[in-house]
Amino acid sequence: MNRRELENAILLRESGELSPEEEAALENALEAEPALAAWAEEAHLLQEAGRYASRHTVPALAETERERILTASKGRSDALPRLLAIAAVLVLALGLWPHFAEPFHQEAPRLTAQVKPIREDLTGEDPLLSSLDRLETEIEQIEDLALDDDHFVEDPDYWASELLKMENTI
């Protein structure tokens, strides 16, 4: 171990972080190196000095601080169970509501409506359809024309020419 590592080992020994083997190695090094042993004493002394200074310069914590902490803690410990109890009651109430609410359940109000049919009877004759049927029959009677004739599909001007013919005839 070099000097820096030995100094680290001295610090780690003070903090109780050395293994027995490392501690034995350090003891050997301290015996062999008086300067290192002096450094170990110095390090210990300077740490003791810090503890000493704190004891003499840092006043004791006011008793009121302790009381404030306890009060804050008590307030917290009282409030938490209360809040949890309220939350539990709410959850329970929501869960049981449908069951307990059933006896008080009222039927939904009935709605009445008057529907006036466009046609009196679905089996009866639809005036619009019958008019169309009639028109179809009349058209077919004109020169024995059938509405499913291919001319209707293939020649868009067919109807125009037929009407012109009729007009000319008249």
Q: Within the chain, where are the H helices?
A: 3-14, 20-32, 34-57, 63-101, 127-141, 150-154, 158-169
Residue closer to other proteins (CB basis): 44 or 151? 44
Please report the sign of the dihedral spanned by the C-alpha atoms of residue 157, residue 158, residue 162, residue 168: positive
Q: How many C-beta neighbours within 10 Å does residue 26 have?
A: 21
The only residue of 34, 59, 127, 156 in contact with other proteins, by rule CB under 8 A: 59
Q: How many C-beta neighbours within 10 Å does residue 37 have?
A: 14
The only residue of 1, 27, 74, 163 in contact with other proteins, by rule CB under 8 A: 74
Stretch that binds other proteins, among 61-69, 86-94, 133-141, 151-159 (CB under 8 A): 61-69
Q: With binding defined as CB under 8 A, does residue 88 bind other proteins?
A: no
The only residue of 27, 28, 31, 47 in contact with other proteins, by rule CB under 8 A: 47
* CA Rg value for the chain: 54
Residues near other proteins (CB under 8 A): 4, 7-8, 11-12, 14-17, 41-43, 45-47, 49-62, 65-66, 68-70, 72-74, 76-77
